[in-house]
Amino acid sequence: MSGPTVLVVEDSPTQAAELEHVLGEAGYGVVVAGSGEEALRTAPALRPALVVTDVVMPGIDGYELCRRLKSQRELKQIPVILLTSLSSPQDVIRGLECGADNFVRKPYDRDYLLARIRQIVLNQELRRGERPHGGLEIQFAGERHLIGSERQQILDFLISTYEDTVLINEKLEARQEELERSHRSLGGLYRIADGLNLCTSEQEVAERALELALELPGVAAAWMFVREGDAGVRPAAARGLPPPLDGPEALEGDCLCRRRLLAGELTDAVTVVECERLRRTADRHDLRCHVSVPLWVEGRVAGMLNFAGVSASHFGEEERTTLHAVGHQVGIALERSQLYEQLERRVAERTAALTAEVAERRRAEEELARVAAIVRSSSDAMISRTLDGTVITWNPGAEALYGYPAEAMVGRSGELLVPADLREEATAMLAEVKAGKSIGNRETVRLRRDGTPVDVSLTVSPIRDASGAITGVAEIARDVTERKRLLEQLRQAQKMEEIGNLAGGVAHDFNNLLTVILGSTTSLLRGLADERLVEDATNIEAAAEQAAALTRQLLAFSRQQVLEPESLDLNDVVEETLRLLGRILGEDVQLDCRLEPDLRPVLVDRSQLQQVIVNLVVNARQAMEGGGTLGIRTANVELDEAYAAEHVEVVPGPHVLLEITDSGVGMDEETRRRIFEPFFTTKARGSGLGLATVYGIVKQSGGHIWLYSEPGLGTTFKIYFPWASEPVAPPSEVEQTGSLQGRETILLVEDAELVRPLVARVLESHGYRVLLAADGAEALELAERERGPIDLLLTDIVMPGMNGQELAERLASLRPGLRVLFTSGYPGDTIVRRGITEARAAFIQKPYLADDLARKVRQVLDAGAG
């Protein structure tokens, strides 16, 4: 033996062999004694460096063996280590009393035992030659004990006792920590199981499981994958992952655990020491490895849970067992959620089916109720009859239309509603329905209860039973009397519009011709000396002026004249016009004038409004040949939707009323129907344009005219003008008439060959320099060539190619500040009206007298100069 000899005293052959093996490997010489008695016999001769003895042995136990060895002088210095499973304070005292040097508690740790032996052997060598000390007397647990060992020996023994106590305490703490981890794991498992019980969907299971899994010991992050078919995996949820992995896209892609899952290799909890995903964040985060746990659902792996920790040591066998249990619970919860979702789907499907059935039944009931309500509330007459004509149902609309109550008609024949001359038509309609045909919107006549006829539109359809057989007739009758009246109004309005367009077109050509006639006549009158010729020329001029007046009336009727509307007080115009008409009315006509004091303003051309009043008053006077009463009234009124629905082209809203009433002879229906047509007159010498002109002016001003008249009861005209938003315009100053001469340059553009030279002569006779152009293109070329100033553009509006408005706009860039005077014999074009009315441009209507033209030109030039 190369090392110190150790005497091992152990009655158990197995433990003795283990000690012999441990000490032998450490280099010690080992001698084994199977009992205390054998040890006492062997020790004196062996003189071992150390005795290691079991305490509990038959015969002489370890304490007694130690005492006897220490009692022998030659063996006293040999250190004795007691091996014991006992660790009570009494065991320590007994060890001290017997003189033991140290003790090691069973089961021992191999490294700890060898360290004790080496330390004891070393101390024994160091203490050789020291003088021994006396023992100690101590009192413990009420008893006195004499410790006969040396003090150093006692100290070593107590230190070994303390070390063992510390070791035991560390083991206890480690065990306690293990117990706490187990407790936390069990608590976590319970909370997971309890939390998953409330989940009813896959997503809820995933979110709740991961949320609770983070409470488990060692789990720093967790995420979950779910299988999709045979080759698909999708992330379901994640918790605690670092920012680079915190998102659905970061969990996509291939990795080891995905491959195992798809290959069917993941059947138990497996630790992945170096995770491919977690390695991406290794430089900034502590996560290194994770445990992959399969999720079993109905005998197959439906997904997996990954639990990540700082290191692989966090996931030992016990932790993997716990995490496997978590996976088992999550699998059960997933299975339960799938069953729940299936149940919910079935319940939802059944509920939807029942709901649809109930809804369909409710819709049918509501449809029946709706149809019944429609039938009851409809203003149309709705009747059902048997095939022989007997009335079955009779709604309130039928009562209102025909005048018969339901109880008077149900059970009776419906033939009493049909006029005698239409019985064959009714029979033929019934035959069509019996043949399965439906008749729609057929207009005919039926009789009311009082015998008066009523125009109706009939819709007749067959009534069929469940088998499709025709069992009756359904009839809907609508009173179309009012509709026919409105259609007649519309046809009349369209007729008037067509006549107006025709009249406006004729007026255009007439005005150009009359311009030539009037201008030429004026020139003739200035140069004639023969009285007969002067008289002829004067008659020509008078006839031309009358023709011009007629064309103006035609333009007014066709609503194509140029108006200059202004915001004015209708009362002022009425009073001013009546002052002019005083002598016309005569002494035998009594005037009843009632003007509302707070009348709202209207936007109307003053002169045109005066013409309306004059024409109506003159017509009223002529209707009262023997005298009578002329009533004129103004008022603020509101036209409602009902009134607008009864009258074509009426816009509901606030209006101002002008009412003119006479007590004259009145009109019959034919006269009333045609009263506004041009050239229609009941007078022997009338032109038939007076009321047509009134109609045109009112319509062009945005108003509405209404007529009521009966033979012998007089006539009432009601004219409605919309309210104006602008206040009444101040009265314009009277224009001062000065010299009509001038020296400015005028560009005259006129496409009429006869008009152009005539107008040029008139302007030149007043001192103006005139440049002539036949159309817009020629006018532009002339304006570009002309080096001197051009002070005024006098242009016709309606010309072929470029119209007057376009010409004025193009010349404005060539000649800034150029004044413009428009003229036309037919300002009916949209561009013309927009250019004149909206731009407030100067305008003179054809035909015009030479002096009127000169005056207008001077007015425009002087206005520009100012």
Lowest mean pLDDT, pick from 341-345, 420-424, 637-641, 675-679: 675-679
- The pLDDT-based confidence of 142 (bands split at 50, 70, 90) is very low
Q: Is the pLDDT of residue 38 over 90?
A: yes
The torsion defined by the Cα of 525, 527, 529 and 531, in degrees rounded to 10, comes to -20
For the ranges 139-153, 504-518, 726-740, 783-797, the one whose mean pLDDT is highest = 783-797
Lowest mean pLDDT, pick from 101-110, 305-314, 857-866: 305-314
Pairing of strands 300-309, 221-228: antiparallel
Return the pLDDT at 734.
39
Q: Cβ(65)–Cβ(47) under 8 Å?
A: no
- Residue 694 inside a domain? The answer is yes
- Residue 647 inside a domain? The answer is yes
Tally of CB atoms within 10 A around 266: 20
Q: Is the pLDDT of residue 31 over 90?
A: yes
Residues 715 and 570 in one domain: yes
Please name which of 263, 223, 259, 262 lies closest in space to residue 241, comparing C-alpha atoms: 223
Q: Is the pLDDT of residue 151 over 60?
A: no
Query: How many domains does the chain fold into?
Result: 5
> Which of the pair, 577 or 78, is modelled with greater confidence?
78
Residues 679 and 784 in one domain: no
DSSP 320-383: HHHHHHHHHHHHHHHHHHHHHHHHHHHHHHHHHHHHHHHHHHHHHHHHHHHHHHHHHH-SSEEE
- Residue 820 inside a domain? The answer is yes
369-388: average pLDDT = 77
Which CATH number does the domain housing residue 157 bear? 3.40.50.2300
Q: Is the pLDDT of residue 141 over 50?
A: no
**Edge-to-edge strands of the sheet including 628-639?**
589-595, 628-639, 653-662, 714-722, 704-710
Enter the pTM of the model. 0.36
Alpha-carbon distance of 185 to 191, in angstroms, equals 10
* Amino acid, single-letter form, for residue 780: L
Residues 125 and 226 in one domain: no
> Which of the pair, 29 or 116, is modelled with greater confidence?
29
Residues 223 and 322 in one domain: yes
- Residue 535 inside a domain? The answer is no
Lowest mean pLDDT, pick from 59-73, 527-541, 554-568, 587-601: 554-568
45-52: average pLDDT = 92
> Which of the pair, 652 or 375, is modelled with greater confidence?
652
Return the pLDDT at 466.
82
- Residue 739 inside a domain? The answer is no
Return the pLDDT at 262.
76
Which CATH number does the domain housing residue 475 bear? 3.30.450.20
Tally of CB atoms within 10 A around 718: 17
How many helices (H) and strands (E) the chain has is answered by 26, 29
Please name which of 443, 452, 388, 461 lies closest in space to residue 419, comparing C-alpha atoms: 452
> Which of the pair, 831 or 819, is modelled with greater confidence?
819
The per-residue pLDDT of the chain, averaged, comes to: 78
Which CATH number does the domain housing residue 289 bear? 3.30.450.40
> Which of the pair, 207 or 834, is modelled with greater confidence?
207
Alpha-carbon distance of 699 to 720, in angstroms, equals 10
Residues 389 and 337 in one domain: no
- Residue 127 inside a domain? The answer is yes
126 CB-contact burial (10 Å; exposed 0-12 / middle 13-18 / buried 19+): exposed
Q: Could you say which of 421, 449, 479 is where a domain stops?
A: 479
Residue appearing with tokens 């428009």: 822
- Residue 178 inside a domain? The answer is no
Please name which of 693, 694, 792, 697 lies closest in space to residue 747, comparing C-alpha atoms: 792
Return the pLDDT at 820.
92
- The pLDDT-based confidence of 17 (bands split at 50, 70, 90) is very high
Q: What DSSP element (H or E) covers 599?
A: none
Q: Cβ(794)–Cβ(821) under 8 Å?
A: yes
* Amino acid, single-letter form, for residue 302: A
Return the pLDDT at 745.
92
pLDDT digits (tens, 9 = 90+) for 108-122: 888 888 888 888 887
Question: Given its phi and psi angles, is residue 142 left (phi above 0), alpha (psi -120 to 50 degrees) or beta?
Answer: left
Please name which of 283, 676, 665 lies closest in space to residue 489, comparing C-alpha atoms: 676
Q: Could you say which of 463, 479, 495 is where a domain stops?
A: 479
What token pair was written down for 535?
Answer: 């008289």
Return the pLDDT at 642.
76
Which CATH number does the domain housing residue 577 bear? 3.30.565.10
> Which of the pair, 292 or 512, is modelled with greater confidence?
292
What token pair was written down for 595?
Answer: 């003007």
pLDDT digits (tens, 9 = 90+) for 514-563: 676 766 777 676 667 667 776 667 777 666 665 665 565 555 545 455 56
For the ranges 222-231, 236-245, 364-373, 707-716, the one whose mean pLDDT is highest = 707-716
> DSSP strand E in 690-832: where?
704-710, 714-722, 745-749, 769-773, 792-796, 819-824
DSSP 47-78: --SEEEEESS-SSS-HHHHHHHHHHSTTTTTS
> Which of the pair, 276 or 763, is modelled with greater confidence?
763
Residues 670 and 580 in one domain: yes
Q: Is the pLDDT of residue 213 over 90?
A: no
- The pLDDT-based confidence of 185 (bands split at 50, 70, 90) is low
For the ranges 264-268, 693-697, 741-745, the one whose mean pLDDT is highest = 741-745
Q: Cβ(643)–Cβ(652) under 8 Å?
A: yes
Tally of CB atoms within 10 A around 480: 17
Q: Is the pLDDT of residue 600 over 80?
A: yes
Q: What DSSP element (H or E) covers 761?
A: helix 755-765
- Residue 504 inside a domain? The answer is no
- The pLDDT-based confidence of 146 (bands split at 50, 70, 90) is very low
Alpha-carbon distance of 845 to 824, in angstroms, equals 6
Residues 315 and 428 in one domain: no
Helices (H), 378-480: 396-402, 406-409, 423-434
Q: Is 682 helix (H, G, I), strand (E, B) or coil?
A: coil
78-92: average pLDDT = 78
Percent of the chain whose pLDDT exceeds 70: 72
Return the pLDDT at 169.
61
Percent of the chain whose pLDDT exceeds 90: 14
What token pair was written down for 852?
Answer: 């009127």
Residues 601 and 696 in one domain: yes
853-865: average pLDDT = 85
- What's the domain range around 656? 563-722
Q: Could you say which of 479, 502, 518 is where a domain stops?
A: 479
> Which of the pair, 72 or 727, is modelled with greater confidence?
72
Q: Cβ(473)–Cβ(387) under 8 Å?
A: yes
Residues 448 and 591 in one domain: no
Return the pLDDT at 538.
73
Q: Is the pLDDT of residue 48 over 90?
A: yes
> What's the N-to-C CA distance of the chain in angstroms?
144
What token pair was written down for 450?
Answer: 């009082």
Residues 760 and 812 in one domain: yes
- The pLDDT-based confidence of 595 (bands split at 50, 70, 90) is very high
Residues 598 and 663 in one domain: yes
Residues 409 and 316 in one domain: no
β-sheet bridge partners, residue 631: 592, 661
